[in-house]
Amino acid sequence: MSAAVQETVATEWASAAAASVVARCDTLAALTETPGRITRVYLSPEHARANDTVRAWMQDAGLDTWQDAAGNLHGRVSGPTPDAPVLLLGSHLDTVVDAGRYDGVVGVLMAVEVVARLARDHGALPFALEVVAFSDEEGTRFGKALLGSSAVAGVWDDAWWDLCDADGTTLRAAFTAFGLDPERVHDAAVDPARLVGYLEAHIEQGPYLEQADQALGLVTSIASARRFTVQAVGEARHAGGTPYERRHDALLAAAEAALAVERICRAEQHIGTVGTMAVEPGAVNVVPGLATFAVDLRGEFDEGRDRVWDAIVAAFHEIGERRGVVVTPTEVHRAPAVFCAPRLMDAVRAGIVATGEPAPLELFSRAGHDAMSLGLVTDVAMLFLRNPDGISHHPDEFVAAPDVALGLDALTAAVERLARDHVPAGDGGDA
């Protein structure tokens, strides 16, 4: 007898809500610093406009809203008592340069729909529901990622204040220009003792769900990450008059260094990318004297990531010695691997199964997410949505509305499951 084929079909509510989510992603795509491309970075005028736009949608959905001391936007539906625990849901509104329209944004807008629906249909759940639209996940402007969620998790590091953007504006100055008070950033921190946990829906940003022919997936852990700015300092000289043996070409040292990152990461099954490279003085007839580039390194575990970085540094040193170029990396971002909590994973898995998928794909996230910061202080879990062709951080990034609809049903069912299983603090519960 052949096994019955399960159909994954979204509810009518979810199909309508998904259409609205996708339309709102289009609206937010227009809030950009460069017409025709989506670029919306931390503490920019577009960040403020995105917060205003999403705030209005949250309020229409019946959520109480506020912007916190780090520029994150919150929308909340109260619990049964003022001191009830809080389940956080969310993702981010900032983007990379020339981004797609769904990375982060779709998770924020899905959370708004789910929270509004649960508040309407269930009245008071045993906990408050709070959507957070994080303000900086990508690190596009200051190099350091997860600034918004680090403030909410209470792991803000005052050493970050002197980070500069490409124009030399410090993070501290950008805070002030945005109307925020740097002295108050710690006010954005939530009390972890009050949290039930954090749930995030996000497009996959890779091909595995599409390969498995599944709309939704369950994240098991999120990659450990480090980022560096590297300076290769050689000597600028005449391109015609300087023999090869007298050259200290910073660009060629940097190019070899970039190839070393790829070679070592491939051999060690890690992921390393050189995503920027700038050369000075930058003239056709001058041997480059300075090259500055960025390295993004990821792995499943912190120990492996650090071992691979040590090998890369050794290769940089060898290249620099050989070429008479001083290669110096400076770390700008470090985030440990985060493992999703079995309790919340069970709820998300049950949510996906409820959509008709009996055996959801479980996968490790090679991309970074706000859940990495929250995971330092509370339980987290993530729901992935199929990303056709696995293309993200690119204008062709896509998620289909029917998959968003299934995601909305799954996320709703996951929260319902957590509500059903919730044991109040003092009764042996965890919140």
Task: Output 138 or 409, the one with its CB closest to ligand GLV.
Answer: 138
Minimum distance, C-beta of residue 138 to ligand GLV, in the bound complex (Å):
5
Q: CB of 110 within 8 A of CB of 404?
A: yes
Number of residues that bind ligand GLV (CB under 6 A): 3
The site map against ligand GLV for 350-379 (x = CB under 6 A) is -----------------xx-----------
Chain-centre distance of CA 402, in angstroms?
Answer: 23
Closest CA to 384 of 262, 182, 207, 256: 207
What is the Cα–Cα distance from 14 to 146, expressed in whole angstroms? 30
Closest CA to 276 of 250, 308, 254, 252: 254
Helix-helix angle 12-29:401-421, to 10 degrees: 120
Task: Scan residues 99-138 and list those touching ligand GLV (CB under 6 A).
Answer: 138
Minimum distance, C-beta of residue 394 to Mn ion, in the bound complex (Å):
10
From residue 198, alpha-carbon distances to 128, 189, 374 in Å are 12, 14, 7
Q: Provide the greatest CA pair distance for the chain.
A: 81
Q: Which of ligand GLV, Mn ion, none sits in contact with 368, Cβ below 5 to 8 A by type?
A: ligand GLV
Residue 259 neighbours by CB under 8 Å, 6+ apart: none
Q: CB of 87 within 8 A of CB of 130?
A: yes
Task: Output 171 or 367, the one with its CB closest to ligand GLV.
Answer: 367
Q: In terms of DSSP bridges, do strands 216-222 and 361-365 run parallel, antiparallel, or are they unpaired?
A: parallel
Task: Output 79 or 407, the one with its CB closest to Mn ion.
Answer: 407
Task: Work out the burial of residue 225: count CB atoms within 10 Å of its CB; fewer than 13 is exposed, 13-18 middle, 19 or more buried.
Answer: buried
Of 65-73, 98-106, 347-355, 377-385, which part binds Mn ion (CB under 5 A)? 98-106
Around Cβ 343, how many Cβ atoms within 10 Å?
A: 14
Task: Output 289 or 368, the one with its CB closest to ligand GLV.
Answer: 368
- Binder among 71, 75, 85, 104 for Mn ion (CB under 5 A): 104
Closest CA to 140 of 41, 247, 281: 41
Of 57-65, 101-109, 146-154, 220-228, which part binds Mn ion (CB under 5 A)? 101-109
What is the Cα–Cα distance from 36 to 14, expressed in whole angstroms? 30
Task: Output 335 or 347, the one with its CB closest to ligand GLV.
Answer: 335
Task: Output 103 or 136, the one with its CB closest to Mn ion.
Answer: 103
DSSP H or E run through 386? none
90 touching Mn ion, by CB under 5 A: no
Minimum distance, C-beta of residue 315 to ligand GLV, in the bound complex (Å):
23
Number of residues that bind Mn ion (CB under 5 A): 2
- Binder among 46, 94, 103, 357 for Mn ion (CB under 5 A): 103
Minimum distance, C-beta of residue 305 to ligand GLV, in the bound complex (Å):
14
Minimum distance, C-beta of residue 309 to ligand GLV, in the bound complex (Å):
17
The site map against ligand GLV for 131-170 (x = CB under 6 A) is -------x--------------------------------
What is the Cα–Cα distance from 150 to 68, expressed in whole angstroms? 12
- Please identify the residue of the shown chain whose CB is closest to the bound Mn ion: 104
One-letter identity of residue 242: T
Count each helix (H run) and each strand (E run) in the chain, helices first.
11, 15
What is the Cα–Cα distance from 304 to 429, expressed in whole angstroms? 35
Of 40-48, 49-57, 78-86, 95-103, which part binds Mn ion (CB under 5 A)? 95-103
Task: Output 148 or 320, the one with its CB closest to ligand GLV.
Answer: 148
Contacts to ligand GLV by CB under 6 A: 138, 367-368
Interface positions with Mn ion (CB under 5 A): 103-104
